[in-house]
Amino acid sequence: MADVTLQNITKRFKTVTALKGVSFDIKDGEFFVLLGPTGAGKTTTLRVISGLERQDEGSVLFDGQPVDHLTPADRDVAFVFEQYSLYPTMTVYENLAFPLRSPLRRMSEQVIRQRVEETAEKLRISPLLERTTAHLSGGEMQRVSLGRALVRDPRIFLMDEPLSNLDAKLREALRVELQHVQKTEDSTTLFVTHDQIEALTMGDRIAVLNKGRIVQIGTPEDIYDRPATTFVAQLVGTPRINLHEAVREDSTLYVTNSTIHLPIPAGDDLPPTFLLGVRPEDVQIHSEGGFLGQIALIEPLGVQTILHVKTGEQTLLSLVPGMTDLRVGEEVRFNVVRERLHYFQPDGTRIGVKRKV
């Protein structure tokens, strides 16, 4: 395994600049997630690292050594794609053994068998080894695809939305398996996804990409608790963060067209107009809450319930545990958790608030 560094990567396709000065460092053994919407440049970044795409500017380094001149094969990376590309006539065993049979490796059959069986064990596909892949379910196929990457011990795993094609239940199960295997093996992994839940749940660190630029790099906690821009704030978390225009008058902040007004904590330096972000779990229904609202809609999800709370002309989402006894139309009082408010400039960048954590 290796650590991987991108230095100022720029990539143009004819008139489109797909990547603009992208730099980051994936540490040895790290699970690094590239998160962003379609067209952000995630897959291009992955292809540049693999050597399938050549950057126009900047450099890719493995363990501190530039690999820009190396072919994809010489870079020794392993791919897992959204579409599993298995050989349908071969057994699972043969599919797993295939990458090890490369003439470059000269591995004995005995070593190959041992590696294949170990990998199958890790991914819980040992009972499938003698089946042909045509007889596997979607989830089993994706496990085998992962296995074919894992069996090789490459310098880095490059995974491009490998779970996107699976149904929700399988995705959940494989997410856990993948994380467990990655952590116990300490394999360096770059995982590309547009799904914020995958990014939060699996990543050691996340790089958020938008329109070819890195917007923020941090741990899942950094990204969720201290989003650098409104784009990041809205990208992670479901339901979405409440984001409202607010004004400061003296030492009080007022959310426009609502009943919400708060004293600004001493030391917080806010401009006259800004955006206030409140995560739905930080809008708390309480009989002695400071603000008045009315329940406009209730969406029970089982483990928690989304309440749409109308206050003035604004509607805030509130996330409460379990089911609720509240009813549509009912008046409620609520609070917002003041230690977890997010402030952004009108242009969307986070306002650094001085506060002891």
- What is the binding site for other proteins (CB under 8 A)? 167-169, 172, 175-176, 179-180, 183-184, 195, 197, 200-202, 220-221, 224, 234, 236-240, 279, 281, 296-297, 299-303, 306, 308, 319, 321-323, 325, 327-330
- Residue 94: CB minimum distance to other proteins, A: 27
> Is the CB of 167 or the CB of 313 nearer to other proteins?
167
Q: Which residues pair with 12 in a beta bridge?
A: 17
> Is the CB of 48 or the CB of 128 nearer to other proteins?
128
b/e for 81-106, b at 16 or more Cβ within 10 A?
bbebebeeeebbbbbbbbbbeeeeee
- Residue 174: CB minimum distance to other proteins, A: 11
* Rounded CA separation 33/204 (Å): 8
Residue 336 in tokens: 């917002």
- Residue 249: CB minimum distance to other proteins, A: 31
- Residue 46: CB minimum distance to other proteins, A: 21
- Residue 224: CB minimum distance to other proteins, A: 5
> Is the CB of 212 or the CB of 280 nearer to other proteins?
280
* Rounded CA separation 193/283 (Å): 29
> Is the CB of 109 or the CB of 330 nearer to other proteins?
330
Cα-based distances in Å from 179 to 78, 183, 188, 220: 17, 6, 12, 14
Q: Which residues pair with 21 in a beta bridge?
A: none
> Is the CB of 153 or the CB of 172 nearer to other proteins?
172
- Residue 269: CB minimum distance to other proteins, A: 27
* Rounded CA separation 275/255 (Å): 9
- Residues 6 or more apart whose Cβ sits within 8 Å of residue 30: 3, 188, 189, 204, 205
Residue 80 in tokens: 């897992």
Q: Judge whether 283 and 336 are in contact, CB under 8 Å.
A: yes
> Is the CB of 93 or the CB of 224 nearer to other proteins?
224
* Rounded CA separation 253/267 (Å): 14
> Is the CB of 11 or the CB of 279 nearer to other proteins?
279
- Residue 299: CB minimum distance to other proteins, A: 4
Helix (H) or strand (E) holding 185: helix 168-185
For the chain, the 3-state helix, strand and coil shares in percent, each to the nearest 5, are 30, 35, 40
Q: From the CA atom positions of the chain, what is the Rg in Å? A: 24
